C-alpha cells in the first residue's frame, strides 16, 4: 500500500486507494524532502493508530483512542493544507480503513443479521464523470450500493448528493430511497 495514497474526509474517514492511475515515465520521481518525510511519518503514525480498530468499530467506545486518531488526522490536515486533493488523483477506488460515520459502522457491525459479515467497504470516485459510489460487500453474493453525484467545491472540498441506493443479495434486490447530501473535505 502506498502511503501517499491516503485520503481523509469528513465525517472522519481514512481510506486508501486500491487503483491509481500510473505516472507517465517522463515525469520525474518526487524529491524526498524534510516535509515529505514528516508527511510520511504522520501517515504511518495514523495508519498505526487505526490498524487494530476494525474500521472504527472499536473506536466508537474508546474516546481516548478516537481522540488520538482525531489529533493525527488534524496533524495530517495541517501538513496538507496547501495540497490540491480534489483533482484527477481523487479518481480511484478507495478502500475504507477507518471511519466515524455511524451508518457505515452500523452496517459493518450488524452484517451478521443477514447471515454474513461485511467484506470490503469501497468508495469509487470519478471526478470527470462527477460520480461517487459507496459499496459495502457482503460475501459471497451481497452488496449495499449507494450512488452519488459530486461537485468539486474547492481544492480540498467535494460536495455530494445521494441519488440512489440498493441492497442486493444472490437472487434478490431491494431498492432504497437516497438520503441527504454531505460535504467532504479530502486531504492528503
Q: Could you report the per-residue pLDDT of 78-122, keeping only the tens digit for each?
A: 888 889 999 999 999 999 999 999 889 999 999 998 788 999 999
- The yes-or-no verdict on residue 184 having pLDDT over 90 is no
Sign of the Cα pseudo-torsion (15, 128, 39, 185, in order)? negative
Distances (CA, A) of 160 to 37, 80, 134: 33, 22, 12
88 vs 106: CA distance, rounded Å: 31
Extended strands (E) in the chain = 6-9, 13-19, 92-99, 121-126, 131-138, 142-154, 157-168, 173-176, 181-185
| Res. 185 pLDDT band, cuts 50 70 90 | low
Q: Could you report the per-residue pLDDT of 56-72, keeping only the tens digit for each?
A: 999 999 999 999 999 99
Amino acid at each position: 500500500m502506498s502511503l501517499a495514497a491516503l485520503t481523509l474526509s469528513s465525517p472522519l474517514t481514512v481510506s486508501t486507494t486500491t487503483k491509481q492511475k500510473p505516472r507517465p515515465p517522463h515525469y520525474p520521481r518526487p524529491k524526498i524532502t524534510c516535509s515529505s518525510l514528516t508527511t510520511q511519518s504522520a501517515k504511518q503514525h495514523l495508519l498505526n493508530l487505526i490498524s487494530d480498530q476494525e474500521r472504527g468499530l472499536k473506536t466508537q467506545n474508546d474516546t481516548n483512542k478516537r481522540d488520538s486518531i482525531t489529533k493525527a488526522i488534524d496533524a495530517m490536515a495541517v501538513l496538507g493544507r496547501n495540497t490540491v486533493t480534489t483533482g484527477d488523483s481523487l479518481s480511484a477506488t478507495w478502500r475504507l480503513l477507518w471511519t466515524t460515520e455511524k451508518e457505515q459502522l452500523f452496517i459493518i457491525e450488524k452484517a451478521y443479521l443477514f447471515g454474513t459479515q461485511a467484506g470490503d467497504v469501497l468508495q469509487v470516485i470519478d471526478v470527470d464523470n462527477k460520480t461517487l459510489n459507496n459499496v459495502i460487500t457482503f460475501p459471497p453474493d451481497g452488496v449495499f450500493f449507494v450512488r452519488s453525484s459530486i461537485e468539486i467545491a474547492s481544492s480540498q472540498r467535494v460536495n455530494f448528493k445521494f441519488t440512489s441506493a440498493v441492497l442486493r443479495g444472490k437472487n434478490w434486490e431491494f431498492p432504497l430511497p437516497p438520503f441527504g447530501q454531505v460535504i467532504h473535505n479530502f486531504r492528503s
